[in-house]
Each structure stands twice: as C-alpha cells, then as structure tokens.
Amino acid sequence: MTSFIDLLLANLLAFYLTHLLAFDPAFYLAYILVYLLACLLAFYLAYLLADVLTYLLAYLLAFYLAFYLAFYLVYLLAFYLAYLLAFYLAYLMEFYLAHLLAFHLTFYLAYLLAFYLPVEVQQCTLSWAGPRLRSSGAHCAGQIPG
C-alpha cells in the first residue's frame, strides 16, 4: 500500500513541481514580458503618435494652410480684383464717357449751333457799352426790320 501512496505522492509532487517550476514561471515571465511590452509599446506608440502626429499636423496645417491660403487668397484676390477692376472700370468708363460724349457734348453742340450760330459778332465801333451783338437776320427772316 505504501507503494501506491508513494506513487501517488510522487506523481502529485512531480505534477506540482513541474507546475510550479515550469508552468508558473513561464506564465509569469510571459505575463510580465507581455505586460511590459504592452505598456512600453502603448507608451511609446502613444508618445510617438501624439508627438509626431501633433507636430506633423501642426506643422502641416500651419505651414500648408497658411501657404495655400495666402497664395490662393493673394492670387485669386489680386487676379480677380485686377480683372474686375480693369474690366468694370474700362466698361463703366467707356459707357459713361460714351454717354457723356454722345449725349451731353452733342446736346451742347446742338444747343450752340441752334442758338448761337444765327447771332454773329460784328465789328462795331467801340462805345461805352462795348461790342454789340447784332443778328444776321437768319432767325428772323420773315420780320421787317424797323
């Protein structure tokens, strides 16, 4: 009977010794390694991601956003403002100059021709009243001078 108990004790001792000496240290070593690796990996990944991404995003956003905003704003504003100013100034100046020249100058020319052409300045002797305007009679051809 002692051989059975001895065999059972030997088996239990072998099982627990292998469990305690082989499995548990391997398990705890793997656990510690995985935990440390996971912590270090998570820390460095978080650090690198946070540091690199924030730096790169801040750099890229600040540089390229400022660059492209400045470039396109200056380019588009300068181009379109110059284009619109040149076009509309030329158009409006042409329109108003044509309007002024066509309407006002022709109106004043017609006015001058209609009212001042029939009246001519003739050489008269100077008097205290100065030169006199005398009608040529073209505008009053039907009237008898009196």
User: Which residue is listed with tokens 């403002």?
Assistant: 81
DSSP one-letter code for 48: H
State the Cα–Cα distance between residues 117 and 112, nearest whole angstrom. Answer: 7
Residue 101's pLDDT is 79
Q: Which two tokens stand for residue 118?
A: 């029939």
Report d(CA 35, CA 61) in Å as an integer.
36
Do the bridges between strand 133-135 and strand 119-121 make them parallel or antiparallel, or are there none, so unpaired?
antiparallel
Average pLDDT over residues 125-139: 55
For 52-94, what is each residue's pLDDT tens digit? 888 888 888 888 888 888 888 888 888 888 888 888 888 888 8
In which band, very low, low, confident or very high, does the pLDDT at 124 lie, cut at 50, 70 and 90?
low
Long-range contacts of the stretch 8-14 (C-beta < 8 A, 24+): none
The answer for residues whose C-beta is within 8 angstroms of residue 134's C-beta and 6 or more apart is 119, 120, 122, 124
User: Which residue ranges make up each domain of the chain?
Assistant: 24-118
Q: Give the pTM.
A: 0.26
Rounded-to-integer distance, Cα 121 and Cα 2, Å: 162
pLDDT band at 122 (very low <50, low <70, confident <90, very high): low
Measured between alpha carbons, how far is 56 from 37 in angstroms, rounded to an integer?
A: 26
Q: Helix, strand, or coil here: 120?
A: strand
Per-residue pLDDT at 123 exceeds 60: no
Mean pLDDT of 141-146: 51
User: pLDDT: is 146 or 84 the higher one?
Assistant: 84
